[in-house]
Amino acid sequence: MHDNVQTRIIACLKEIFQDQPDIHENTRLEEIGLDSMNYIRLIVGLEDEFEIEINDEDIHMENFASPLHIHTMVTNYI
């Protein structure tokens, strides 16, 4: 997952989780504070960053469990 998409996903996450400097591809987002507000901010941030619209059926916690999961989902849109 070491590519531009990963870098951009990590950047989106660091904007939301500013107190978590060490976010990597396997970081469990729920463990670092992914709550409902941050979940919405993340979805909007990813849609803006990648100029995509995430389908409702893809908006579930399994796709947002870690940056690696997000990468898998986002690459289906770009």
Q: Supply the DSSP string of 26-42, one letter for each residue.
A: T--GGGGT--HHHHHHH
| Range of the structural domain that residue 16 is part of | 4-32+45-75
In a domain, 18, yes or no: yes
The answer to the question of residue 37 being in a domain is no
Cβ atoms 1, 25 nearer than 8 A: yes
Question: Which residues, including other chains, have CB under 8 Å from residue 22's CB and lie 6 or more apart?
Answer: none
Distance CA 43, CA 4 (A): 18
pLDDT recorded at residue 57: 96
Looking at the 3D structure of the chain, how many domains does it have? 1
> Averaged in consecutive runs of 10 residues, what is the pLDDT profile of the chain (78 residues)?
85 92 92 92 97 96 96 95
What pLDDT shows up at residue 2? 52
CA torsion angle 22 24 26 30 (round to 10): 50
